[in-house]
Amino acid sequence: MMDKTMTFSIGDQTEQQIRATLTAVYDALKEKGYNPINQIVGYILSEDPTYITTHNNARNLIRRIDRDTLLQSLVKYYISA
């Protein structure tokens, strides 16, 4: 009997969730006519949720991600690209 050990990485799942959330927020901001990059940066710098539209539940989505975790993911992605 072969007993293979399965590996589980919460880090990968978290990265995927952050990517999906940022994409959804970006799309919602773009649909409403905002500059998504400027709005997301404004939110990250100030943590003021009013930078993010409520359209398509974008504001609630981005608030589920800890700001430090979001910044860490963005830096990690930028450095590894």
Decide if 68 contacts 44 (C-beta within 8 A): no
Reading phi first (left if > 0) and then psi (alpha if -120 to 50, else beta), residue 55 is in beta
pLDDT at 1 over 80: no
Q: Mind listing the pLDDT tens digit for each residue in 14-66?
A: 888 999 999 999 999 999 999 999 999 999 999 999 999 999 999 999 999 99
Amino acid at 22: L
Domain boundaries, the chain: 15-80
